[in-house]
Structures are given as structure tokens and as C-alpha cells.
Amino acid sequence: MERKRILLCLAHMSGREMDYIKEAFDTNWVVPLGPNVNGFEADLEAFVNNREGAEPLERKVVALSAGTAAVHLALLACGVGPGDEVLVQSFTFCASSHPVTYLGATPVFVDSEADTWNMDPELLEEAIMDRIGKTGRKPKAIVPVALYGMPYRIDRIMEIAAKYDIPVIEDAAEGFGSRYNGQVLGTFGKFGVLSFNGNKMITTSGGGALICSDDESKNRIMWYATQARESYPYYQHEAIGYNYRMSNICAGIGRGQMTVADGHIAHHRHVQALYKELLKDVKGVTLHEAPAEVFDSNYWLCTVTIDPLLHVRGEEKAYAEVVKGAVGGAAGVTHATESAHTALEPNRNVEAMRIWLNDAGIESRPLWKPMHCQPVYAKNPAYTNGVSEGLFKVGMCLPAGPYVTDDDVRYIVEQIKEAII
């Protein structure tokens, strides 16, 4: 019997989503506003403002069409514009940096620290001082990223940001529900970004949200997200806005997903713990874990590194063929390429492991390729220490979603063991 395909990460429905969607159609609220949008934002505010052992926060949330839209509007609200520079974690997905370019500004990339894989605070401060020295101006914002759900060292980042009076935009798109010292990521900086793409911890099919410091910030973001319409009985525009509001239909999905959010997070952490137990004696394969108790990761994806000296079946065939079509569950199509190689790529044993697992019905992926190594950003300033490049060569992501069962994890680890020569 052919084994089912084990997907990397996919949020599943709770059963309540259809009730909210039906209500939207029954009441004819099928536009980018309505009861579901308001209800979803209220649910999110209750979720992110909850602090373990402390009084709740008072952050506000705006539901948007995508996490990328949230990054864009946060940058805009921080005054980012043409000629400005923004410090962005290099080890991330492109949605963290591309919106900087939308505004005519320049992403300046900062490498990672070895234990969290996230923005290195000491390198961050070095970058700030160097940019001030070279340009005569300080960067307009700092964007740390919760890579695969792992919290960044936000206490030190906020300390540095305060020292130079630079706003922090937390990209917690992968870190929904992750906490640092009991506080939800996205609630430390001026703004916090969330994503509800189909592969995230909870989903609205697409969509995202921006966590704002206060009502004034929320109202300003809401204004930008609804095409910057002025308060007249006709359409009056005195600034450029965007059509970024979440639809009432998608928000209905989100409301249903919030009823299972805690369960999803608990399941991902359970899967991480099971990988830890099953991989503990597998030499050459190391599971990435939180460095200390204050780093409370949601483990959106479980990640491992593979020793370069470890040999995997099929290494001789790694990169033998170019990829045809989109990979890793990505939507759309990819540009055709003549060579399977780039200047920086995962080691042959990592690629061989990916192919082996794929042939066994298991979807895995390389880690994010650092932004400072992407051709589109070849000319951008970057402050590097070799950490993200080194991890990209040896790391990979394993399935961890709500559909991944204990038996699936056992099968995945069995296949990893079988692949090792």
C-alpha cells in the first residue's frame, strides 16, 4: 500500500470555520470588513495580550490580507521611505525584506547568532554604529525574525533599539504563540507581524495581522489598509493607501482557527519532543532546540542539522537534475534554470536526504537561504559572521504540522536512519 504523503506543515480546520463563513454569506458580509473581522481581531488581541504570571498587555490588532502587507504597513508607519535604510535579519524568508524595497528604502542585512539562529544583537549594534558613521543617519527600523518559531533575543534587541531610538518591527510571522520570558512575540516592539498563510500555526487561507502599540497606531494602520480614505461622504484621498484589509470570509476562518490555536501549538511542541527522543542516538543529525527556558518556541517547523561528514544514500545523484516546476508546496511557477547549482547551496548529503525523504512520501525542505546571499540583494550592505551561511549548508526542515501523527514522526526518523550509510 502506498503511504500517505506527510506534509511539512499544514494547519487544519476546527469545524467552526463553516459556521462563521455561512453567517457571513447569510448576512451578506462578504467584503473587507464586518463582524468576523472585528471578532477575529478581538480574539487575537486577547491571545497576544496574555502574559504568563503578569498583568495583560493592551496591544491592538489589525487583520490584513497578508503578513507581507503587515510588514509593509509597519514600515510605512515608522516613516520608512526612499533613501532610508532598515536593518533586517538576513536568515529569513523574503517577505521580511521585500517590503523595504517597495518603499524605495534599502534593506541592510544582519546575520544570526548560533544558538537561536536569529538576529545577533552584538552584530546589530555594530551595524547601527557603522551605518551612522557611513551615511550620517541612523537606520529607520529594526526587523528581527522568529525563525521557524524560535524567539529572538528580544530583551537585548530592545535595549539596543532604545539606545539609538530606532523602532522595532517584530516579524513573528512564523512565531505565532511563541513567547520570550512569558510574553508573546510581536508585543515587545512598536509593531508585531503575524501570518495566517495556509502553512502557518493557524490559517485564514491567506492573511496576516499587525500588532500595534495603541489605538492611535491601530487607527493609522487601518487608514492605510483601507486606501487612506478621508472622512467625507465621498472618496477623498490626501495620501496613498492600500487595499490590505482582511475579508470577512477569511476572518471567519480565522475565528474558527482561534478555537484550536492552543491545541496546534501544543501539538507542534509535542512533535518536537518526540523528534528529540527518537533522534537522540542518531549520530550526525542534531535537532535544533531552544537555548534556555525563556525561549518558548512554538516549533512551527522542527529543524535539524546534518554533519558534513555524514554520508547519505544517493549523494552521488544530488543536484544531478534541475528542478522542474514549483518546489516545497510553493504556489505558482518557477523560472527555468539550466544548472542545478548556485554559489551557496545545501551540502550534497542534505540534498540527498531531502530526495530520499521525498521518495518515501515525506516533504522536507532546506532552511531559508540567507537574504544577503540572494542575487537580488547582491549589492546591499550586510553584516555577517558566517552563521546563517553555515546553517543553510547543513540544515533542513522536517514535518511538524497538526496532521503529523506520532506514527508519522517514527516513520520519518526510521527513514532518516535508513538513509544514513
Cα 416 from Cα 396, distance rounded (Å)? 12
The pTM (predicted TM-score) of the whole model is 0.95
Residue 332 has pLDDT above 70, yes or no: no
Taking only the tens place, the pLDDT of each residue in 238-255 is 999 999 999 999 999 999
pLDDT band with cut points at 50, 70 and 90 for residue 113: very high
Where residue 294 falls (left for φ over 0; alpha for ψ -120 to 50; beta otherwise) is alpha
Q: How many CB atoms lie within 10 A of CB 321?
A: 9
Cell representation of residue 52: 504568563
According to the model, what pLDDT value does residue 334 have?
Answer: 65
Helices (H), 185-229: 215-225
How confident is the prediction for the chain on average, in pLDDT? Answer: 94
According to the model, what pLDDT value does residue 333 have?
Answer: 58
Domains and CATH numbers, the chain: 17-260 (3.40.640.10), 262-419 (3.90.1150.10)
Cell representation of residue 95: 517577505
Cell representation of residue 329: 508546496
Q: 7-16, 32-41, 386-395: which range is least confident on average?
A: 7-16
Taking only the tens place, the pLDDT of each residue in 45-63 is 999 999 999 999 999 999 9
Cα 408 from Cα 74, distance rounded (Å)? 39
